[in-house]
């Protein structure tokens, strides 16, 4: 994919915290309706990359483009209104508030009719939440709480949805249900970037994938696509399509210290 075909394009982005480099020359493209997997160990820079895209962190260098427009450094609320939504790691819910009140936090700016229509579409996608509008989110199961978090991100009808470890803390069977009943239904209706540590299921359905380590993209590929190696050292996932280790005879570079992000 070329950047001209992408709805979201990150070009040579570097970022740091307090002078400590966290992202190093990262480039990434997401096509319209595409599901892109972003994987890597803790401290690889995945969450920081999401924060740069959303405007929470300003990059030291590089640019972010959305629908052909440079959005680098714009305020987060403006980027959200343009059509980029983030489901943060840990869900970011308010457990003492009701399901409805949590959903309304993602629906600001909608009039009464729009809100009714959006809520109905949410309950069609998440039937388990129908009838639980008044229940406190803290009283729901982990799987139901994750549904509320995803629903809150979707209620604004974003064009790009980024999910930072949506299955974290969920039992394996609940994770499978999340992918089978939610992610599968969203395929093609919204562009998605998903990060997972338990990435096998994700890699089975992703259109393309990027592997990050030490703040850099070290490997990328796609379903049936030939791998593209970046840098002297590339570490692939140990499972899933396109899995591979360091190629035979390749020089191993010293391991880059990874800072937890």
pLDDT category at 238 given cuts 50, 70, 90 is very low
- Going from N- to C-terminal start, the domains of the chain cover 1-83+160-261, 92-157
Of 85, 108, 101, the residue nearest 159 (C-alpha): 85
Q: Give the pLDDT of residue 89.
A: 84
pLDDT category at 1 given cuts 50, 70, 90 is low
Q: Give the pLDDT of residue 257.
A: 38
Q: Give the pLDDT of residue 167.
A: 85
Greater confidence (155 vs 253) lies with 155
**1-83+160-261 is classed CATH 3.40.50.300:** yes
Listed range (39-43, 179-183, 213-217) with the worst mean pLDDT = 179-183
Model pTM?
0.80
Question: Could you give the CA distance from residue 151 to residue 41 in angstroms, rounded to a whole number?
Answer: 27
pLDDT category at 4 given cuts 50, 70, 90 is low
- pLDDT beyond 70 at 230: no
């Amino acid at each position: 994919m070329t950047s001209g075909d992408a709805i979201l394009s990150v070009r040579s982005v570097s970022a740091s915290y307090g002078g400590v480099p966290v992202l190093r020359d990262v480039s990434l493209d997401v096509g319209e309706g595409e599901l892109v997997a972003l994987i890597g160990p803790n401290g690889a820079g995945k969450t920081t990359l999401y924060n740069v895209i959303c405007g929470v962190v300003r990059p030291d260098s590089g640019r972010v483009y959305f629908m052909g427009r440079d959005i680098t450094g714009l305020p987060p609320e403006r980027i959200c209104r343009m059509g980029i939504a983030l489901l943060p790691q840990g869900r970011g819910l308010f457990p003492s508030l009701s399901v409805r009140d949590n959903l309304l936090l993602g629906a600001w700016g909608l009039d009464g009719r729009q809100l009714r229509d959006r809520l109905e579409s949410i309950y069609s996608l998440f039937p388990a939440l129908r009838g639980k509008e008044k229940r406190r989110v803290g009283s729901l199961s982990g799987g139901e709480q994750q549904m509320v978090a995803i629903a809150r991100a979707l209620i604004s009808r974003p064009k790009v949805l980024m999910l930072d470890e949506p299955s974290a803390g969920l039992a394996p069977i609940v994770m499978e249900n999340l992918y089978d009943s939610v992610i599968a239904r969203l395929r093609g209706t919204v562009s998605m970037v998903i990060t997972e540590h338990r990435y096998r299921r994700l890699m089975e359905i992703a259109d393309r994938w990027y592997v990050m380590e030490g703040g850099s993209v070290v490997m990328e590929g796609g379903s049936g696509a030939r791998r593209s190696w970046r840098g002297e050292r590339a570490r692939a996932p140990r499972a899933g399509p396109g899995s591979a280790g360091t190629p035979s005879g390749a020089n191993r570079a010293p391991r880059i210290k990874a800072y937890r992000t």
